[in-house]
Structure 1
Amino acid sequence: GNYLAYGDYPQDTSGNPSSLWLPRGVIFDKQIGNPPQTLDHREIREYVTHSWYSYTEGDETSKHPWEGETRPNYTGPKPPYDFLNTDEKYSWLKAPRYQDTPMEVGPLARMLVAYASGHERVRELVHQVLDHLSVGPEALFSTLGRVAARGIETLVVAEQLGAWIDELAANISRGDLTIHNGERWHPSTWPPEAEGWGSTEAPRGALGHWVRIKDGKIANYQAVVPSTWNGSPRDAREQRGPYEAALIDTPVADPERPVEILRTVHSFDPCMACAVHIVNRYGREITRIRIA
C-alpha cells in the first residue's frame, strides 16, 4: 500500500519538480485523500540481506546508491535446482526501500500520485472507471487497479500529445532546435569530484541513476530500476517487496490452474515475465498456458 513516483514530462527547463506534468511524490498506507509526501532521493537505500550480493559493512546494512556496492555473492544451490531457501539469500535483485519502506512503482503509482496531487483529468478518469465497475477506491490497490491505471495513463497522455506537438512545432518555426542543455556535457567542464543523480518514469515505473566522479572518471555508478523496486526480495526487517506482498492471500479458483497468480505478477509488467514459472511442491509443472 505504498507508492512512489519520480514524475515526468517537465513543462519548462527549471528542473523544479513542480514543473512536472505527472507529479512526483510518495504515498504511504494507501492515503490518496491527502497530498503525496515530497520525495527526497536521499531517503532511498538498498538492502542485500536476501540478495546474492555482499556489503563491506555487512549484509544487514543498507546503502544509498551514491555509496552503493554491487559485489556478487551467490550462495544459492548449484543449477539445476527445484527450490530456493528463502530464509537465506534467494534473489539477484537488491531490495530498495524509501524511508525503510517497500514501494510499488509503475503506472498505478503514477496515477495514484497524480490523483492525490489533484490532477483533474486523472481524477476524472479514475472516478469514471470506479463508477463503471461499481467498485470503491479500495479496488485501486489491486491487480485490477494496476491494469486500469495503465489504461487511464495511456488515455491521459494521448490526449495531451497534440498540445505538446504544437509546442514543438512552434519552437521549430522560431528556429529553436534545442533538445537539451549541454553546458556540462564535456568532461572538461566538470569539477575534480562531484556526485549527481537523475530520475525519470520508465513505462514500468520509477527509474533512478546515481553517479560519483573523481578525477574526471566514474568512481561509482548505481541504477535502481522499476523491477528492482517491485520484485525486490525481503529486507533486513523481513519486509516483502511488492510482488511478494501482492500474492499473499490471493484467492485461487483452481489450484491446478493458478492463473490468478500469473495475472497478479503480470499486472506489474515485470521485465522477467517470460522467465517466471510455477511448479508444485514436488517440483513438477502444474500447467502450461499459451497466449496466442
Structure 2
Amino acid sequence: HNILTLPDMYIPGTDTKINPFTPEEPVRTVAKRIQRLREIGQTVGEIAGGEAIHPSNPRVGGMFYNISPQAKQKIYDLAKEALPLAIAQMEFMITVLKNWENRGTVTVGKTEVEIPEKFGWHDQGYMAVDPVFDSSSLDFEPKWDPDRWTDVSPYHWYQGELEISLEDADYPVGGTTKVGTKTWPQMQACTSVPLYDGQPVEVGPRARLTIFKNYDRKGAMGLQIARQMEYPDCLYTMIEACDALDCNGSVLADEIPQGDGSLGWNANEAPRGCDVHLARVKDGKVQEYTLLVPTTWNFPTCSRALEGAPWQLAEVIMRAYDPCVSCATHMLVVDESKKIVAQKLVQ
C-alpha cells in the first residue's frame, strides 16, 4: 500500500514527487525496506498457513497441522528483524504524509491543485471489533451485531444515467474519459451497499485506533497515518503469539459442531478492515454464506469522503481509504463477440 501511495507524495522539503522505483536515495532504501517487510510477512504466512496466498493449513475447527519448534523460532526471528524496519517505515511515512497535508497545493499532471482544509473528511461512524484480532457469535459478549446490519442495492444508492461533461487530456495517465460518454452508476456497480445502524461506516486502521485507542485524526491523511501506526503492533502481536504457541499442542477444537441451521458469524479485523462472514450450517452442510468484506464497507464511506474534494485529487482519497480499489480497477473494451479489443488500468 505504501508503494501505491508514494507517487502522490513529495520528498519532504522539495517539490520532487516520489518515484518508489528510482535507484536513487533516499527512496531506494525505503523501497527495499518495504519489499523486505512484505517478504517477511509472506514468509510467516507461508510457514504458518502452508502457502502465502490462500493458505491451505486452516480448516474448520482449527488447523491441519502444528508447526515445528524450528519453524516457530524462524517466525520469531523474522518478527524481531521486521520490528525496527516497521518502526523506521512508520516514521518515514508519517513524515511524508504530514508534509503532503501541509503543502497547501500539489501538482497533478500540469495543474496546480489546492488541498482543502478538510481533505477526505466524512461524518460517518466507525466499525471495528478488536485492535488486531476478531469477535464471533460464540463470544460471551460479541462485539458485532448482525441485527444492526442491513444492505441496500446499488440501484437505490447510486445515481442513474449520467453524461461525462469534463475532460482533461493532461490528467495522468492517458487523460480522462471523453466528454459525452454515457455512464450509469446504478447498473455498473457490482456490490450491494452494507449499512450499520442504517448508515455507512468506515472500517480499517483508523476505525480500530479510534474505537480502541482514542485516535482522532480525520481526513484522508489521518487514515493513512493510522495505517502506518499499526505496523509495530502487528509485530509485537506476532512475537506474543510465538511465545504462547505450544508446538506439541492440539490444533483442533475439542468439539466441532455440525450445526443446527442457526446463524453464526465471525468479524475478523483484516488489515483493510472488518471482514464479516455469516453462515448457517446444518448437519455439517452449509445452507447459507454471506461475506461483508472491508472494501464493500468502505465504498459508501469513500463516496462521502470524496464530496467537496477537487476531482484531480479523488484518486488520492481512494488510495487512502482502500488499497484494493487502487490496484484492482480496470477498464475493458469489448466488441460484440465479447472479445477484448482494448484495456486500461485506472491508476
TM-score by length of 2: 0.47
Q: 1:183 aligns with which of 255, 258, 278?
A: 255
Unaligned ranges ≥5, structure 1: 19-23, 25-37, 52-58, 61-74, 117-125, 127-136, 232-240, 279-287
- Please show how residues 234-249 of structure 1 align to structure 2 within 5 Å: 241-249=300-308
> Which one-letter code corresponds to 2:302 in the other structure?
Y
Q: Deviations over 1:258-286 (max 9, x none)?
A: 2x2111100112423234479xxxxxxxx
CA distance in 1: counterparts of 2:137 and 2:203, whole angstroms = 25
Q: 2:183 aligns with which of 84, 96, 120?
A: 84
Partner of 2:169: none
Distance 1:202-1:10 versus aligned 2 partners, 3 A rule: closer
- Please show how residues 40-119 of structure 1 align to structure 2 within 5 Å: 40-48=145-153, 50-51=154-155, 82-86=181-185, 88-116=186-214
Partner of 2:268: 200
Partner of 1:266: 319
Q: For the aligned residues, what is the CA RMSD?
A: 3.7
Distance 1:108-1:17 versus aligned 2 partners, 3 A rule: farther
Q: Deviations over 1:89-115 (max 9, x none)?
A: 441111100110110111111111111
Partner of 1:3: 126
CA distance in 2: counterparts of 1:113 and 1:17, whole angstroms = 20
SS of residue matched to 2:201 = coil
TM-score by length of 1: 0.55
Q: How many residues align?
A: 192
Name the one with the larger helix percent.
Answer: 2
Q: Deviations over 1:107-132 (max 9, x none)?
A: 1111111114xxxxxxxxx5xxxxxx
CA distance in 2: counterparts of 1:270 and 1:225, whole angstroms = 13
Task: State the structure with more CA Rg.
Answer: 2
Q: Deviations over 1:58-77 (max 9, x none)?
A: x79xxxxxxxxxxxxxx989
Partner of 1:152: 229
Q: Does 1:164 align with 2:263?
A: no
CA distance in 1: counterparts of 2:287 and 2:137, whole angstroms = 28
Distance 1:227-1:191 versus aligned 2 partners, 3 A rule: closer
Distance 1:242-1:83 versus aligned 2 partners, 3 A rule: farther
Q: Deviations over 1:148-204 (max 9, x none)?
A: 111111122223433332222xx33xx32x3342521xxxx5245333112201111
Partner of 1:33: none
The answer to whether the Cα contact below 8 Å between 2:298 and 2:322 also exists between their aligned partners in 1 is no
CA distance in 2: counterparts of 1:160 and 1:216, whole angstroms = 33
> Which one-letter code corresponds to 2:128 in the other structure?
A
CA distance in 2: counterparts of 1:159 and 1:102, whole angstroms = 32
CA distance in 2: counterparts of 1:89 and 1:14, whole angstroms = 35
The answer to whether the Cα contact below 8 Å between 2:133 and 2:268 also exists between their aligned partners in 1 is no
The answer to whether the Cα contact below 8 Å between 2:201 and 2:301 also exists between their aligned partners in 1 is yes
Distance 1:141-1:179 versus aligned 2 partners, 3 A rule: farther
The answer to whether the Cα contact below 8 Å between 1:193 and 1:213 also exists between their aligned partners in 2 is yes
